Amino acid sequence: VMGTASTMACIAEALGMSLPGTAAIPAVHADRLRAAEATGDAIVRLIDNPIKPSEIITPASVENALRVLLALGGSTNAIIHLTAIAGRAGIDIPLTWLNELSDETPVLVNLKPVGEHYMEDFFAAGGMGAVLRELKPLLNLDCMTVAGQTLGQRLEQDTGPVDRSVIASASEPLEPQGGLVALFGSLAPGGAILKRSAADRELFEIEARVVVFSSLEDLANRIDDPELDVQPGDALVLQNAGPTSTSGMPEAGYLPIPKKLAARGVKDMIRISDARMSGTAFGTIILHVTPEAAVGGPLALVRTGDRIKLSVSHKRIDLLVDESELQTRRAALVDTR
């Protein structure tokens, strides 16, 4: 599906760091062997006629990659990976930039976990070439690629028919705005990420009571407790699962629905954390809340029974607790360290 691995393969192609048409080839397809041979040939040519990564990974190509991520409804992990790649080239990716692009880049690809199809269907439907052609008016076409041609030159070549059940046209997209959005507010002053294309739109504008788990261990111990104080309209909050508080930052952000609610047919609820999650996950899940709880961010101050307000239309996530109470909690938090 369009999980993290598939998303990053597509982003590598969008950046120009892999050969055209190679991102989505199924592992068992003969074209995968042909792509490997073509890649080897390209490596040999690049020895005599080098194209440096710094000539390929530029602000313009990073913008192209972000647009592709948004059009794919790709993995939230891609924000971490693409930020790291761009960072090696000295390129910053502020979340405000992500939002600007998301406002004008539609979701085009109907793949799980956002849609119905699989990566092999995406390949047969036209793959990255078809997506890039639909996005062409929004792309920076003068970006150089490892193939020795610009993106614009690549897109002058016709790749054949497109299956519109899998890859929608820009004029009739699956969704008018990008798959990811950054949220800001009193709970996430530095931002947070929501994969809105995989979320329940009925939860996009809502105020909810929160149920807090202080750690991964606390979550594991209590999430399926039949006595857990939780209702279908509540939001779940996980603290201390961010990059500095856990070993290796596991994909813990996909908080499970409490067993007592799942038994009643609850399929989704707002889930908030400073963690990350698998690109295969689905739900109204707000991740990468920044600053994270372990460094004293507002997430560390949330208590069960507090209320939060989510507004995707305004790109906000707010903690509805008086500042004086938060100051008291902050002082207590410092005292316990």
Tokens of 318: 């707010």
Of the candidates 214, 278, 311, 313, the residue annotated as catalytic is: 278
Between strands 191-195 and 235-238, the pairing is unpaired
Does 137 sit behind a cis peptide bond, omega within 30 degrees of 0 on the bond before it? no
DSSP per-residue string spanning 15-60: HTSS-TT-TT--TTSHHHHHHHHHHHHHHHHHHHS---HHHHS-HH
Q: How far apart are CA 185 and CA 308, in angstroms?
A: 10
DSSP state of 115: S
Closest by alpha carbon to 207, among 296, 309, 305, 136?
A: 309
Judging by DSSP bridges, how do beta strands 205-213 and 285-290 pair with one another?
unpaired
At residue 209's C-alpha, the angle toward residues 206 and 213, to 5°, is: 120
Give CA 149 to chain center in angstroms. 29
Return the residue matching tokens 């709970």. 187
Query: Is 186 one of the annotated active-site residues of the chain?
Result: no
8 Å CB contact between 110 and 131: no
**Bridge partners of residue 318, in order along the sequence:** 309
**82-91 CB contacts, 8 Å cutoff, 24+ apart:** 82/11, 85/15, 85/57, 86/57, 86/62, 88/57, 89/53, 89/54, 89/57, 89/58, 91/57, 91/58, 91/59, 91/62
Distance CA 147, CA 168 (A): 27
In terms of C-beta density within 10 A (0-12 exposed, 13-18 middle, 19 or more buried), how is residue 150 classed? middle
Query: Which active-site residues does the annotation give?
Result: 278
